[in-house]
C-alpha cells in the first residue's frame, strides 16, 4: 500500500497531478525490486516541516529535498516514510532546468530506494543506486537526471 499525504498546498498548486505522479514513481520503484506488497508513506510538505524533521532526526538544522525514514521490520511489510520539501525541490528543478514533475518523481524513487536498503555513501553505492533510479525513471518517460546538461 502506498499512502500519500499532501500537507503543503504549494505542491498541488504547482502540480495539480502531484498525487498520481508520486504514486506512479513509488509503485515503479517498488515494482523494480519485486516489492509489490510492501507499504510506504509519502509526505509532500514544506521546507519548514522538512527542516524540523532533519534537525530532529539527523541533527542538521536545514531543509533538504527528501528524507527517508526506514521502518523496523514488521509483519505489515511497511517499509517506512518519505518526506519531500516543496521549496527545496522547486528551486532545484528550476536551477537544473528540469520540470518539477520529473524532479519530484526522481526524488520519490530516490527516497523509496533508501527504504529498500540502498544508499550512496560510497562511489560504488552511488553508482548502483543511480543506475536503478535511471531505469525506473526511463520507464516513466523521464530523462536521465544525472546526465550532463548544456551550459
Q: Which triple of cell numbers denotes residue 29?
A: 520503484
What is the domain-level CATH number for residue 10?
3.40.390.30
Give the pLDDT confidence of 18-77 residue by residue, as tens digits: 999 999 999 999 999 999 889 999 999 999 999 999 999 999 999 999 999 999 999 999
Q: Is residue 150 part of a domain?
A: no
Domain count, the chain: 1
Q: Is residue 146 part of a domain?
A: no
Q: What angle do CA 136, 146, 109 make, to 5 degrees?
A: 30
Distance set, CA 28 to CA 53, 55, 124 (Å): 26, 30, 23
Q: Is residue 46 part of a domain?
A: yes
pTM given for the model = 0.96
65 sits in which H/E element = none
Q: Is residue 112 part of a domain?
A: yes
- Show the domain range for 25: 2-139
Q: Is residue 108 part of a domain?
A: yes
Q: Is residue 149 part of a domain?
A: no
Is the separation of the CB atoms in 111 and 82 below 8 Å? Answer: yes
Order across the sheet with 2-6: list the strands: 2-6, 39-45, 78-85, 66-70
Q: Is residue 77 part of a domain?
A: yes
Q: Is residue 145 part of a domain?
A: no
**What pLDDT does 150 receive?**
57
- Measure the CA–CA gap between 121 and 16, rounded to whole angstroms: 34
| Residue 148 confidence (pLDDT) above 80 | no
- Measure the CA–CA gap between 141 and 31, rounded to whole angstroms: 16
Amino acid at each position: 500500500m502506498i499512502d500519500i499525504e499532501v500537507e503543503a498546498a504549494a505542491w498541488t498548486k504547482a502540480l495539480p497531478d502531484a498525487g498520481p505522479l508520486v504514486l506512479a514513481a513509488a509503485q515503479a520503484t517498488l515494482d523494480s525490486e519485486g516489492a509489490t506488497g510492501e507499504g510506504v508513506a509519502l509526505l509532500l510538505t514544506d521546507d519548514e516541516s522538512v527542516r524540523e524533521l532533519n534537525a530532529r532526526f539527523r541533527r542538521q538544522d536545514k531543509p533538504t529535498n527528501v528524507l527517508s525514514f526506514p521502518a523496523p521490520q514488521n509483519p505489515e511489510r511497511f517499509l517506512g516514510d518519505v518526506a519531500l520539501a516543496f521549496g527545496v525541490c522547486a528551486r532545484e528543478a528550476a536551477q537544473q532546468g528540469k520540470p518539477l514533475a520529473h524532479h519530484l518523481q526522481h526524488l520519490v524513487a530516490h527516497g523509496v530506494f533508501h527504504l529498500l536498503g540502498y544508499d550512496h555513501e560510497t562511489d560504488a553505492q552511488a553508482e548502483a543506486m543511480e543506475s536503478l533510479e535511471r531505469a525506473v525513471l526511463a520507464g516513466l518517460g523521464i530523462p536521465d537526471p544525472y546526465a550532463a546538461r548544456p551550459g
